[in-house]
Structures are given as C-alpha cells and as structure tokens.
C-alpha cells in the first residue's frame, strides 16, 4: 500500500486546507482497510506448491508366480507337455 500512502502524502501537500485533507485521507484509509484484510487473507494461499505435489507415489504392483515364470522365459511343466 505504499502507492496509496504516497498518493495521500501528495494530496496533503497540494491541499492548503489541513482539515479537509486530513478528513479525506482518513476517509480513504478507513475505506481501504477492508481491502487490506482481503489481501492479507489471500496472500498465504499464493504459496508455491512443492514439486513433489505434482507426482504420485510409485506403488509397485504385486506379481504372481505364474507371471514371473512367463516373463523370465521359463516354461512350466504344463506348457512343455502341450
């Protein structure tokens, strides 16, 4: 909100009526508080996600004995008999 504070300071310097400029500055600042609250609520949500959040954990599948025999080129006794 530095830009707003700078703008209010310029407004205060330009306006010769101190009461009027103080009233305007106070009114603007009061109206801006709700937006400052909203901004502060949203800022924690802007945190960057870690790279691990994009990957699923690898869960090895369970392999049965018959699948391992086929994968290794081994033949079972039933296949030889055929």
Q: Give tens-digit pLDDT for 3-42.
A: 888 888 888 888 888 899 889 889 998 999 998 888 888 8
SS3 call for 20: helix
Give the model's pLDDT for residue 30.
92
pTM for the model:
0.44
Supply the DSSP string of 27-78, one letter for each residue: HHHHHHHHHHHHHHHHGGGGPPPPGGGGSPPP-PPP--HHHHHHHHT---HH
List the chain domain ranges.
1-45
């Amino acid at each position: 909100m530095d830009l707003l504070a700078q703008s209010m300071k310029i407004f205060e310097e330009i306006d010769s009526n101190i009461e009027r400029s103080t009233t305007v500055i106070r009114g603007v600042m009061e109206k801006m508080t709700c937006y400052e609250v909203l901004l502060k609520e949203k800022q924690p949500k802007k945190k960057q996600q870690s790279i691990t959040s994009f990957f699923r954990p690898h869960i090895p599948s369970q392999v049965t004995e018959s699948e391992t025999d086929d994968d290794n080129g081994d033949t079972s006794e039933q296949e030889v008999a055929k």
